[in-house]
Amino acid sequence: MLRLALIGITGRMGRVVAECAAAAPDIELVAGLVSPSRDLAETSRVLPRTVRLTHDLSELVSGVDVVIDFSRPEVTADAALAAADSGVAFVSGTTGLRESEFAAIRQAATSIPVVHATNFSIGIAVLLRIVPELARVLASWDCELMERHHRQKRDAPSGTALTLARVVAAARAANTSFVYGRGPGIATRQPGELGIHAIRAGGEIGRHALLFASDEEGIEITHWAQSRRAYAAGALEAARRLVGRSPGLYQFTDLLYEM
User: Which domains are seen in the chain, by residue range?
Assistant: 2-120+228-257 (3.40.50.720), 122-224 (3.30.360.10)
Assess whether pLDDT exceeds 70 at residue 13: yes
Assess whether pLDDT exceeds 60 at residue 259: no
Q: How many CA atoms lie within 13 A of 182 on its CB side?
A: 12
Give yes or no for a contact between 78 and 107, defined as CB atoms under 8 angstroms apart. Answer: no
pTM for this predicted structure: 0.85
Query: What is the reported pLDDT for 48?
Result: 66
Give the model confidence (pLDDT) of 162-205 as tens digits. Answer: 999 999 999 998 889 999 998 898 889 999 999 999 999 999 99
Q: How many C-beta neighbours within 10 Å does residue 50 have?
A: 10
Q: How many CA atoms lie within 13 A of 84 on its CB side?
A: 19
Catalytic option among 116, 153, 208, 223: 153
Catalytic option among 55, 116, 149, 223: 149
- List 32's β-bridge partners, or say none: 6, 53
Give the model confidence (pLDDT) of 72-98 as tens digits. Answer: 999 999 999 999 999 999 999 998 899
Give yes or no for a contact between 244 and 236, defined as CB atoms under 8 angstroms apart. Answer: no
Residue 149 bears catalytic tag: yes
DSSP string, the chain: -EEEEEETTTSHHHHHHHHHHHH-TTEEEEEEE--TTS-HHHHHTTS-TTSEEES-HHHHTTT-SEEEE-S-HHHHHHHHHHHHHHT-EEEE------HHHHHHHHHHTTTSEEEE-S---HHHHHHHHHHHHHHHHTTTSEEEEEEEE-TT--SSS-HHHHHHHHHHHHHSSS--EEEES--SS-----TTEEEEEEEE-TT---EEEEEEE-SS-EEEEEEE-S-THHHHHHHHHHHHHHTTPPSEEE-HHHHHH--
Query: What is the reported pLDDT for 183?
Result: 85
Residue 25 CB partners (closer than 8 Å, separation 6+): none
Query: What is the reported pLDDT for 7?
Result: 96
